[in-house]
Amino acid sequence: MGRDLHCLTLHAAADGLARGDFTSVELTTALLDRISSIDANIGAFLTVTADAALSQAAAADARRATGEVNRLDGLPIAIKDVLSTAGVETTCGSRMLQGFIPPYDATVIRHLRTAGAVMLGKTNMDEFAMGSSNEYSAYKVVRNPWDLGRVPGGSSGGSAAAVAADECLAALGSDTGGSVRQPAALCGCVGLKPTYGRVSRYGLIAFASSLDQVGTLTKDVSDAAMLLGAIAGHDSRDSTSVDTPVFNYLADSDDGLHDLKIGVAPQYFGKGLAPSVGSKVREAIGTLVDAGATEREISLTHTELALPAYYVIAPSEASANLARYNGVKYGLSDLNASDVDEMMAGVRAEGFGSEVKRRIMLGAFALSSGYYDAFYLRAQKVRTLIKDDFDAAFEQVDVIATPTAPTPAFELGSKLGDPVAMYQSDIMTLPASLAGLPCISVPCGFVEGLPVGFQLIAPAFEEERLLRIARLFERFRGDMEAPAREVDSL
């Protein structure tokens, strides 16, 4: 029996459990051991629920011994700390929610529990999911497993690093403007953001409600399909979740790529893109073309406006969503304050970090009377133009291919003094978020020892198509020759 159980994919581990090669308790123990031995140097976890994980694993083994079980049954998964977990501290990476124990599970967590998955713990993140490097966590930084001096991306940096460092088989994250895809690209794993409305947001702590979506971080595309199948679906508790069929995203099809048209937009290969990243992504497109697909040039004319529109819309929604943290109902409070105003002001001054405060101020300004039309309304109009660009492109092509992030992982601290440089890490992921489209980042190679991600974008609710093409890409790409990971020298 292989002892490197922590390195398995979800599907390989599911096969191993089904064959009886090992038990869920053995698998879970291997991952908990891995976390204990390396996480002090990675910082991926905020909470490790070792005892609960082992008892869930034992229960999974008992279920398996007596009958048919779900394919996810007994598989250890990590959860971004933005998702409410009943009885387990959920901080959202913020001091504001330190010690907050949700009384209920997010719908996606309920689905995972029903499927029998084992929860290893809660992963580190940028505070309230605002950030692109995980350095805005109120608790600790996360280090990129490939190079410990570099960021893992954000805001789901803990989830991406945990998958990339083999501290969990897969993880859930959330993506508002790129927070699953960008860290997946920087850490060399697969990051899937479903269509807005595909997965319930109930119990996902709100950042920008018209954009937030739960996504997956996995070691390969099949695992993304497996996990999406478990978490997708209509939920009456989230009025924006859409009642549309959930497919068997895992179904393999050998249709190949012959009728496939891939759209490539020059707007994604210009300013800001590191040439070395651009050439890896071009090679990835070449791989699909060699396998029979046709490349078509498309124009996504308003791409450049996505960043300014997002940084009006997302902070506006955040300023409203974060009004609930006032010391009364959740987390941080101050019972010694002399009156309510002093308490609210004091708690918000102390509980929020500077990036969160910046977003609240930006949003409150954009929404204030006299500025609403000039900023918020205008940004919404730009959002429609961006969506119209995608709609027009999808009249001509089946899927759009772009880089996921403009550069590989950057050095810790290098963008902390310059918020706009940090925001620019998301120029390739924001447009599809504004349009609500499903997208995936798949590793496509390495540049100077660091992973590069390839983003595919599909029309709304076409996750089946997206995953099929991504899986075919992965197959034609084959195993990549990976450079040494610094985590392996720990």
Q: Which is nearer to ligand GLN, 375 or 446 (CB)?
A: 375
> How distant is the alpha carbon of residue 288 from its chain centre?
25
- CB of residue 132 to ligand GLN, shortest distance in Å: 4
C-alpha–C-alpha distance, residues 372 and 361, integer Å: 14
Does position 167 bind ligand GLN by CB under 6 A? Answer: no
Residue 452 host element (H or E): strand 450-457
C-alpha–C-alpha distance, residues 229 and 193, integer Å: 13
Of 155, 156, 222, 441, which is the active-site residue?
A: 155
Of 24, 80, 222, 425, which is the active-site residue?
A: 80
- CB of residue 250 to ligand GLN, shortest distance in Å: 26
Spell out the residues 6+ positions from residue 299 whose beta carbon is closer than 8 angstroms to its own.
265, 266, 267, 389, 393
Of 179, 200, 319, 433, which is the active-site residue?
A: 179
Answer yes or no: are the C-beta atoms of 392 and 263 closer than 8 Å.
no
Nearest-CB residue for ligand GLN: 179
Q: Which of 176, 195, 222, 316 binds ligand GLN (CB under 6 A)?
A: 176
Does position 213 bind ligand GLN by CB under 6 A? Answer: no
Q: Which of 155, 195, 200, 222 binds ligand GLN (CB under 6 A)?
A: 155
C-alpha–C-alpha distance, residues 210 and 225, integer Å: 24
Tokens coding 40: 């002090």
Site pattern 306..325 for ligand GLN (x: CB under 6 A): --------x-----------
- CB of residue 428 to ligand GLN, shortest distance in Å: 12
Q: Which of 152, 178, 403, 408 binds ligand GLN (CB under 6 A)?
A: 178
Answer yes or no: are the C-beta atoms of 189 and 164 closer than 8 Å.
yes
Write the DSSP assignment of 456-473 as a string of letters.
EE-STT-HHHHHHHHHHH
Does position 220 bind ligand GLN by CB under 6 A? Answer: no
Q: Which is nearer to ligand GLN, 155 or 218 (CB)?
A: 155
Does position 273 bind ligand GLN by CB under 6 A? Answer: no
Sign of CA dihedral 163, 97, 138, 131: positive
Q: What is the length of the chain?
A: 490
Q: Which of 175, 220, 398, 464 binds ligand GLN (CB under 6 A)?
A: 175
Q: Where are the beta strands (DSSP E) in 239-343?
A: 261-264, 294-297
3-class DSSP state for residue 82? coil
Site for ligand GLN in 102-131 (CB under 6 A): 129-131
Known catalytic residue: 155?
Answer: yes
C-alpha–C-alpha distance, residues 265 and 273, integer Å: 13
Spell out the residues 6+ positions from residue 152 whose beta carbon is closer than 8 angstroms to its own.
44, 133, 134, 142, 143, 144, 145, 158, 160, 161, 164, 183, 186, 187, 409
Does position 426 bind ligand GLN by CB under 6 A? Answer: yes
Where does this chain touch ligand GLN (CB under 6 A) — which range of 139-147, 173-181, 260-268, 380-388?
A: 173-181
How many residues line the site for ligand GLN (CB under 6 A)? 13
Q: Which is nearer to ligand GLN, 359 or 387 (CB)?
A: 359
Where does this chain touch ligand GLN (CB under 6 A) — which range of 62-70, 108-116, 171-179, 456-464?
A: 171-179
- Contact residues toward ligand GLN (CB under 6 A) are 129-132, 155, 175-179, 207, 314, 426
Catalytic residues: 80, 155, 179
